[in-house]
Amino acid sequence: MSCISIGDFRTEAGATLSDAHIAYHRFGHFLGDPHGGNNVILVEHALTGNADVAEWWCDLIGPGKALDTTKWCVIAMNALGGCNGSTGPSSPHADGRSWGSRFPALSIRDLVAAEKKALEELGITRVHAIIGGSMGGARTLEWTLMYPEAVDAACVIAVSARASAWQIGIQSAQISAIERDPFWHGGDYYSSSQRPREGLAAARRIAHLTYRGEQEIDERFGVQAQTGEEPLGPYRRHDQRFAVNSYLDYQGSKLADHFDAGSYVTLTEALNRHDIGRGRGGLNRALGSSQVPTMVVGVDTDILYPYHQQEHLSRNLGNLLAMAKVVSPVGHDAFLTESRQMDRILRNFLTLSQPHPLDVDSMIDYAI
């Protein structure tokens, strides 16, 4: 992982983040822009993801895989506001303490603007494609509207044109779960010995139920008791659980081990503010104005970003490249777990995105 400075960053809402940095990973080699196009693919991670895309999308990125790193230069950046290398609430402020509550609210557009600046710092002014799911899909979509001249094609996965009221509600319930943790301290807990672990775990348990299809969870767990526990005893007890609650406890605890609650709140709030239509004459006018060839992908059982939201995108986007449905009981997370379907989708996307395929052998390796 590398890190690059993007200097002082002014947010969409008018706050300033001084001395911001963006962390990134690169896989494969940048071959320059010899013919008005290049071999860069930007992959955008989801809410609690990170820039190590070859790890969490390991079936899809690498030599010979759908995003073939012997041909493509795959770049991924940790979102601004995150906790995996880029500047976020846990990062040191100029005064030496963490930003904490002084960290401004970010929009999806802010995350994208920071990425654009970071790419420019790397000497890359355009990319062949941007691909992302969930929060990564929201950023991908904003890229096509903010910097259409810099993107040849986009693949927008499991997301909507704006936050729905239901999403804002359930995401705000997660923020509330963190804020109600006594160790949250209004976001300024970094200098104390305790972190708001329980709040973050509670947020994740709620979130996870929106990431998974209800029939898939039910087929796996049903009303089973966790092994060795008795959830049907005469009094309700925390250590006597249904199997599904043990599973959700594990998911919550795992996230609390490796993610920062402040970043979780910041990026969740950015999802609340996701709205392609803002300042662009409304949703469908904004989508209609898009000129970047865009493929839209959805999951049939997605609770969080139901498939009708991707149908809405496909009906209204100005330059629809293709539409694909992942069929899976898994729900929203299927774009991470259904590797065979995603492999086919990403290969098709790259084929459709190249009317004149790159001749890699004639290109020069530019070190970045």
Annotated binding site for substrate: 204, 333
Q: For the chain, how many residues are written? A: 368
- Lookup result for tokens 């069929």: 327
The residue range among 47-55, 149-157, 271-279, 292-300 that interacts with a copy of itself, by the rule CB under 8 A, is: 271-279
DSSP tag of 86: S
Extract the annotated binding site.
Answer: 204, 333
The catalytic residue among 302, 312, 314, 328 is: 302
The catalytic residue among 21, 52, 332, 353 is: 332
Catalytic: 164?
Answer: no
Catalytic: 134?
Answer: yes
Q: Which residues contact 315 (CB under 8 A, 6 or more apart)?
A: none
Query: Does 329 sit near a copy of itself (CB under 8 A)?
Result: no
> Comparing C-alpha atoms, which of 241, 243, 239, 203 is closest to residue 219?
243
Query: Does 243 sit near a copy of itself (CB under 8 A)?
Result: yes
Select from 4, 209, 225, 322 the one that contacts a copy of itself (CB under 8 A).
209
Is residue 72 a contact partner of residue 41, using CB atoms and an 8 Å limit? yes
| Least distance between a copy of itself and beta carbon 132 (Å) | 21
d(CA 131, CA 294): 10
Site string for a copy of itself, 284-303 (x = CB under 8 A): -------------------x
Both tokens of 88, joined, read 């976020």
Sheet holding 73-77, edge to edge: 2-10, 16-27, 73-77, 40-44, 127-133, 151-157, 294-299, 320-326
The catalytic residue among 107, 134, 263, 328 is: 134
Catalytic: 332?
Answer: yes
Query: Does 169 sit near a copy of itself (CB under 8 A)?
Result: yes
Cα torsion through 106, 23, 190, 48, rounded to 10: 70
Query: Does 279 sit near a copy of itself (CB under 8 A)?
Result: no
Q: 292 vs 46, 213, 285, 318, CA distance in Å?
A: 22, 31, 15, 8
Query: Does 307 sit near a copy of itself (CB under 8 A)?
Result: no
Residue positions annotated with a catalytic role:
134, 302, 332
Please give the residue ranges that form the binding site for a copy of itself (CB under 8 A). 11, 13-15, 104-105, 107, 162-166, 168-170, 172-173, 176-177, 180-182, 198-199, 202, 205-206, 208-209, 212, 214-215, 217-218, 220-223, 231-236, 242-245, 248, 265, 269, 272-273, 275, 278, 303, 306, 308
